[in-house]
Structure 1
Amino acid sequence: MPAKMRWLSFLFVLAIVGVWEAASRTNLVDPSYLPPFTAVLRAFVADFTQGEILRQVLATMRSYVQGLSLALAVGIPCGVLMGAFPGFYAGGRTLLEFLRPIPSVAVIPIAILLLGIEFKMRTAVVFYGSLWPVLLNTLYGIYDVDPVYVDTARVFGRRRGNILRAVVLPAALPYIFTGVRIASAIALILAVTSEMVAGSSGLGFYVKTSEMSLRVGEMYGGILLTGILGYLLNVGFLSLEKVILGWHRGFQGQRSRG
């Protein structure tokens, strides 16, 4: 993002915070429902200095990391197999089309019955919800590889397995990274949601218990921290994508100029 756009984004956020603070201070909105931003910040800092916030963030990140990692470990290979080999797609299509429309939140009661209300349940829900964008984007990425790349590799005597590894997978990486970023956002949402529904730790649990005990400042602080965490994770994946796919961006630029 250009520096000018970053400044505009920062000023926009600052304006929202200013309106929030002014609306609460002037009783335009009831401060008991929407405390001033500075009050939220004080409550958040108090819990942070006591170590409460860090414990909840680590609990959420544990479910997030393990669930998303499982989704990557399963989704990418399955997407490659279904995209590269029509037989695998034909065999798995019915199951894929049946499971994919089921809302991830609807899986939470099943996960609670099978796995209880602790970490395993939250990891399973995160895995289920984040699997589909990884699998489908990998599948579409394999489908969308330019046939010219494959034909050229065959002309040079490359075998099918070598073509898949050296030509098809690198060409599909932009799709895969897009799927990973989408899955990352879904994973965080589901980690927090499952903690709110049936959890004893994590940011979702922190927000829920703060609301139930009328600690409104802490509640808003937990919600804002969840948004900040999601933003930082997205920036991290974008930076990683930029490093790994720098060659792809340069190649596409050469093609467009050519």
Structure 2
Amino acid sequence: MIGRRVARGATGVAGLVVAAEIAGASGLLDPAVLPRMSTILLEAVRLPADPEFTADLVATLRVWAMGLLIAVLGAVPLGLVLGNLRRAETAARPLVEFLRPIPSIALIPLVTLLVPSTEAVKIIAVVYAASWPVLINTMYGLKDVDPVARETLRSFGFGRLAVLRRVSLPSAAPFVMTGVRLASSIAFVVTVSTELLAGGVSGIGVYMIRAGSGLRTDLIIACVLWTGALGLVANVLLVRLQRQAFRWHAVKAVGEP
């Protein structure tokens, strides 16, 4: 089943590439505006040999990893607190629902004024955007805990922390992992978007800005292909990790398509 899905996806991508190449070769698309797909793919293959691009790629991955790690370390404990304490959740829910829809990109001008470091601005934007899926899925996972198992442990004299460690955490772990996977994709999108808006000295977005100043549309689209490929690889790795770690628990968590 998985092999068929991969084959169908590869067929769709190949069909799009062929259609774009035909449109470029036939003159339907102006090469000055949109280069031929063969030219773009050739530049994408050449990019890893460019030390400037690899340095920017490493910078993007560093911001992505740091922002995602901080988001997970902050959102999971907060989700555990709000998911276990009803009064705390009731008090925090209006604030969460107010802040969650605000795009992190919209906060970049404000953060830029308050924080002098461009690197810190990027990390703050990533942390803000990536925290919500982890927080919401952690809270949702705790609500899915079997109340019978929880009350059984309490009847045997186990305290709140013991019940959390023995029942609630194992039950909520698949939801938390799904939140991390969703946050990973969001973090990557926000990282590149912040680089494009906030600038700086390094990052894939900064490399695209430099390519745009030289009217190198082929390089810009090649970078877009690389960002898409990296996001896909990260998602596939996290999906495999989730399936290996939680074979016993198949669940579709909040925000998962």
Aligned to 1:223: 224
Name the CA distance, whole Å, in 1 between partners of 2:132 and 2:47. 36
* Aligned positions of 1:2-151 closer than 5 A: 2-116=2-116, 118-151=118-151
Q: Structure 2: which 5+ runs fail to align?
A: 252-257
TM-score, structure 1 normalization? 0.91
> Aligned-pair distance for 1:2?
2.2
Per-residue Cα deviation, 1:52-108 (whole angstroms, up to 9, x for no partner): 221111111111111111100010000000000123223423432332222111111
Deviates most, 2-11 or 177-186? 2-11
Per-residue Cα deviation, 1:152-195 (whole angstroms, up to 9, x for no partner): 32344432211101111110112111211111111011100110
Deviates most, 122-131 or 84-93? 84-93
TM-score, structure 2 normalization? 0.91
Identity of aligned residues (%): 37
Secondary structure in structure 1 of the residue aligned to 2:248: helix
> Aligned-pair distance for 1:117?
5.2
Name the CA distance, whole Å, in 2 between partners of 1:248 and 1:76. 19
Do 1:63 and 1:119's aligned partners in 2 also have CA atoms closer than 8 Å?
yes
Give yes or no for the alignment of 1:181 onto 2:181.
Answer: yes
Name the CA distance, whole Å, in 1 between partners of 2:152 and 2:236. 36
Name the CA distance, whole Å, in 2 between partners of 1:163 and 1:238. 28
Code of the residue aligned with 1:197 in structure 2: it is: L
Deviates most, 101-110 or 119-128? 101-110
Aligned to 1:241: 242
Do 1:195 and 1:204's aligned partners in 2 also have CA atoms closer than 8 Å?
yes
Deviates most, 97-106 or 21-30? 97-106
Give yes or no for the alignment of 1:166 onto 2:166.
Answer: yes
Secondary structure in structure 1 of the residue aligned to 2:249: helix
Aligned-residue Cα RMSD (Å) equals 1.7
* Total equivalences in the alignment: 250
